[in-house]
Amino acid sequence: MNAADIMIGLEDLSEADEAALSLIKSRQAAMEKRVTGWSAINTGSWNAQGLNAFSKQLAEALSETGADIDFIPTAPIEKVDDKGQMTQFQSAPVIRAQARKDAQVQVILTGHYDTVFPPNTFETIKDIGDGKLNGPGLADMKGGITVMIEALKAFESGTDKDKLGYTVILTPDEETGNFGSNPMIMDAAKDAHIGLTFEPSMEDGSMVGGRKGSAVFDVVFHGRSAHAGRNPEDGNSALMAAAEFALDIEALNGQFDGVTLNVGSIDGGNAVNIVPAIAVVRMGVRAPDEPSADWATQNVRAAYEKALKRKGITGHFHGGFYRPPKPRNAAQDRLLSDVTETGKALGLSLTFRDTGGVCEGNNVFAAGTPNIDTLGVRGGRIHSSDEFMVVESLSERAGLAVLILNRIADGRIDAKAIKNLMTN
């Protein structure tokens, strides 16, 4: 649907809906200008300087909603370096915006302002035709944050705003696991009735239903170096232990339905005439539910313990499931149905697909709050230099988000009933 036609063929709209959609329609050009300006600022997950600088711009934009804005420092993120040593990285703050915390119905809105692109890598923004722009973070997810802010501004201009309170949590570390920001997400989510997260939807407008859980493991093996020609028998190869571990991990694929394991990298070794004394294996796991996640963790650990039985090998083991699964349940199904009906009022035929991908929606669900987590712009090829955003979807998705807020506020979407289904 073309953004210019957002008011055509609408059904089941209140006066507040129509006023909000009219305001959204008038903001299309401003949204495009904002997100392209933001995309030009590098906010790679490990670029603390860029993240901190951008957080101030982001807070200023978020203050347009009238909410109270706070910067919340994050705890340092632990990292295992290529030498197997534990290091720490201090990311930027979480930006929190709050309005009407005493309202009877509460919503949490989440998003992230980091991207996967380091400085001096992918920085060009260009029109690739067919109504699409290519650029870093346009879809994932500076476009989504733009949609969120405009939807909140339109909602705040309406007559039902006093019936709904909300907390916005914008994080600097989602692409690396929310290890610093997760406590803020969980704290805000546990008291909310509904969660709205603004990850990009698919290019065709389809959204995510259920999500697998995700784990990251950093496994370090220590051996003993020796001259590979003169006295190789005095050495113990950490790299061979890592290779055995990696092969055992690969063999686990297909043994438990829905579980996938992937060894992403092995760091270790040096010259070919030296028996390698250090190796670091970095791997990930995706699992659809808690039993499968437990199975995966146990078997990864067993493969590690097996590798340690090699002569002269020691090690240490880091990581686990940092995002629990977000399966379909009665609460999620009810919310998906209500959002589908809301989309129909805009002429949108929304569909939902389960995925192995993860996001902050997993965290919100883990706090006991049902949520929709792909309310951002339509786009594709995220996490690559081909990332793109469908420009007209800025107003389209902001319109969908404000209608959801309106319907929660006036009761057409019964947020308390949906939340109750999480525990029944």
Extended beta strands in 191-304, E state: 194-197, 207-211, 213-222, 260-268, 278-287
Question: Model confidence over 48-66: pLDDT tens digits?
Answer: 999 999 999 999 999 999 9
What pLDDT is stored for residue 377 in this prediction? Answer: 98
Residue 309 tokens read as 């039985």
Q: Tell me, what's the pLDDT at 126?
A: 97
Closest CA to 41 of 27, 51, 32, 31: 51
Distance CA(161)–CA(154), nearest Å, equals 10
Domains annotated for the chain, with CATH where assigned, are 3-210+326-420 (3.40.630.10), 213-323 (3.30.70.360)
Residues of the chain under the 70 pLDDT cut: 1-11
pLDDT for res 204? 95
Question: What pLDDT score does 12 carry?
Answer: 82
**Shortest CA distance to 99 belongs to which of 163, 147, 56, 54?**
163
Residue 141, preceding bond cis, omega within 30 degrees? yes
Predicted pLDDT of residue 102: 97
Rounded to whole angstroms, how far apart are CA atoms 293 and 257? Answer: 11
Would you say 341 and 172 are in contact if contact means Cβ atoms under 8 Å apart? no
pLDDT at 306: 98
Q: How far is CA 258 from the centre of its chain?
A: 20
Whether the CB-CB separation of 15 and 158 falls below 8 Å is answered with: no
Strands (E), 291-418: 314-323, 352-355, 371-372, 379-380, 388-390
For the purposes of burial, counting CB atoms within 10 Å of the CB of 257, is it exposed (0-12), middle (13-18) or buried (19 or more)?
Answer: exposed
Take residue 36 and report the two structure tokens written for it. Answer: 């392209």
Q: Residue 370: which region, alpha, beta or left (left: phi > 0; alpha: psi -120 to 50)?
A: beta
pLDDT of the residue at 1? 43
Q: What pLDDT is recorded for position 8?
A: 36
Cα distance between residue 361 and residue 374, in whole Å: 9
pLDDT tens digits for range 117-174: 999 999 999 999 999 999 999 999 999 999 999 999 999 999 999 999 999 999 999 9
- Outline where 170-326 has alpha helix (H): 182-189, 238-252, 290-307
Residues facing residue 195 across a β-bridge: 108, 371
Q: What distance in Å separates the CA atoms of residue 146 and residue 395, rounded to the nearest whole number?
A: 10
CA distance 100 to 54: 26
